[in-house]
Chains A and B, each alone.
Chain A
Amino acid sequence: MKCIKAEEGPKNSVIYYDQEGNKLIRYWKRRDDEPVDQASTRSWRNNNPGNHVIGDFARRNGAIGHAGSVPGTKSKFAVYPDYATGRKAQAKRLKEGPMYIDLTLNSFVRKYTGVKPGEPDTQEVINYRRAIRIFTKFDMERTIHSLNDEEYEQLLDAMKKHEGWREGREEYIEVKKILGIHFDKRKIISEFLVGNSKARRWISKQEAITLAEDGKLHAIVVHSKHGTYLRPEYHNTPFKRLG
């Protein structure tokens, strides 16, 4: 699935869309009654191993949306279309520009966690350094620039772990299109032909309404005093022309 857009879904989930409008949902918890402690991490749900905040950098490096707030702020975390793009963005984050490239592993962590020059190390810095040291076993006085490709990947792996990475449940939902309609004797739509270029079938109006309510059919459910019916999504072909 090649995702082109992503947005925040209910209950901390992230919804990805492909060009056809099909959806991939990454859930926070596997089940509603699952404890919060065993939930998936934001980084996994957003394909964002560096936990980048949405902004110019993330957009320039392929972010397709945002989901989840930075605690205590209105800023949102970026969503990348897939893990490879998110990983590439993180690789670029540390090497692009003069911000980190010439810093040692010990000192880049200070900047990365927002400690100002001259201020003492925070506990967050100490914890971050410890994690990098444990996972990479590198001399922490080496600069990022000095790491070869393999070592650099090890650094990214360590950071991914420390930023938090736990996979969870995901669900792919194929959203069918309405390709044709049948009218009954009263000229009211009674059946819909739904599917895609590979497979299609006729379903009843009620079945179509249920699918649309579940977000599995490209149609809008309208509840009126005369009953419930479907209408096409905005800018789509009117049903009459499908008949």
Chain B
Amino acid sequence: MSSTTMKLRFFHGEAIGVLKLFWVICLIPLTGFAEQKWASFEEMMNSSSYEKVTKEISFETRGPVQVSCSYPILFGKGELVEYVNQDLKVKAENQFDKFVEDEKLSDEEWEDECSLSYALFPAYQVSNLISIGGCWSYIRNSHSSTSYEGKNYWQRGDSIIKLFLDDLFIKGSGYRSFMLQYCENYFKSSGYGYYSSLPEFPPQLESHDLDIFVLTDKGLMIIFRAYRVGGSADGPDTVLIPYAELKEFIDPLGPLKEKL
């Protein structure tokens, strides 16, 4: 393993004190995360078994601010891998710059630590499909907020398609109703989160709750937003729907055709 650290110092008037910029490029031998059998979204998020770029900065405005972003560098050749690597880099670094700019210009009152981070991490990779998970965290006034995302890419011929849930299934086959019912049954039967702690007001799942997902080797993983089915501190709340359960809905010409 090798790593490179670059530190810069510069000044931004009175409002912002010393700025420290850390670029950390961790070159961790990639064992091929496509073969990794992640047990959970959390495990994907915390894994260190892939190469990633981490960018961190800390500075002072009304108090100490820390901003970070990280994104994976996928190994392999071909258009899809190159496209995804570039897309993740642009997305993460733009977000990093936006975080920094927003904080510098913000006149919002806050105290204690302020930390903003955006992390992208690999979930699944085969020759024509790549799935990436994402996590945004904001900490301010001693409270944290987290949101998640899934980015899924499919190469069909010469074109690369960013996938939405509807791209995976046969239109009009009722897959959303089935998946909502599947998730609800899972949460109810296991007494998950608010389903047991707030039985008087169980969450009413809606179609858009299915929109954040990643593909894994075992199935389609739905990631629920914080505070949807459980508190934020114990998340992410996910349901893994095995491909076998989705067989009748999968588009035989779509990205999941290999799973049939």
Q: Which residues of A contact B (CB under 8 A)?
A: 35, 37-39, 41-43, 50-53, 55-58, 68, 70-73, 75, 77-78, 93, 97-100, 111-114, 116-117, 122-124, 127-128, 131, 134-135, 161-166
Query: Contact: A51 with B233, CB < 8 Å?
Result: yes
Q: Given contacts A71-B236, A164-B234, are A53 and B113 in contact (CB under 8 A)?
A: yes
**Which residues of A are found within 8 Å of B141, using beta-carbon distances?**
57, 93, 99-100, 111-112
Nearest CB in chain A: distance from B53 CB, A: 16
Q: Is the C-beta of B144 less than 8 angstroms from some C-beta in chain A? A: yes
CB distance from B204 to the nearest CB of A (A): 10
Q: Are A68 and B227 CB-contacts (below 8 A) given A73-B137, A99-B109, A116-B108?
A: no
Apart from A71-B135, A131-B227, list 14 A-B contacts with CB within 8 A. A37-B192, A53-B112, A71-B146, A72-B117, A72-B119, A114-B140, A122-B147, A122-B225, A124-B232, A127-B228, A128-B227, A134-B201, A162-B231, A165-B231
Which chain B residues in 184-236 approach chain A with CB under 8 Å?
187, 190-194, 196-198, 201, 208, 225-228, 230-236
A166 vs B187: C-alpha distance in the bound complex, in angstroms?
Answer: 15
Is B9 interfacial (CB 8 A cutoff)?
A: no
Number of B residues with CB within 8 Å of any CB on chain A: 48
Q: Which residues of B contact A37 (CB under 8 A)?
A: 187, 190-193
* Contact between chains at A164 and B197 (CB < 8 Å): yes
- Chain B, residues 152-163, CB within 8 Å of chain A (1/0): the string is 000000000000
Q: How far is the CA of A72 from the CA of B136 in the complex (A)?
A: 7
Are A124 and B227 within 8 A (Cβ)? yes
Contact (Cβ within 8 A) A164 B231? yes
A41 adjacent to B142 (CB under 8 Å):
no
Chain A residues with CB under 8 A of B191: 37-38
Cβ of B135: which chain A residues have Cβ within 8 Å of it? 71-72
A52 touches B143 (CB 8 A): yes
In the bound assembly, the distance between CA atoms of A37 and B196 in angstroms comes to 10
A residues in contact with B236, CB < 8 Å:
71
